[in-house]
Structure 1
Amino acid sequence: MGEQAVDAELRRVAALTGGAPLSVKFYDEHRAEGALTAARIIQRSGSWREACAAAGVETNKAARTYRRRWSREDLLGWVRDYLAADGQPSYGRLSAWLREQPDAPSANTIRNTFGTWTAVLEAAMAPAGEE
Structure 2
Amino acid sequence: MATWADVRRLALALPGTAEGTSYGWRAWKVRDRAFVWERPLRRADLEHLGDAAPDGSVLGVAVADEGVKRALVADDPAVYLTTPHFDGYAAVLVRLDAIDVGELAELVTEAWLAKAPKRLAQEHLAAERTGPAT
Task: Please state which band the TM-score falls in when normalised by the shorter chain.
Answer: under 0.3
- Looking at secondary structure, tell me which structure has more strand per residue: 2
**Higher RCO (C-alpha under 8 Å, 6+ residues apart):** 2
Q: TM-score, normalised by structure 1?
A: 0.20
- Looking at secondary structure, tell me which structure has more helix per residue: 1
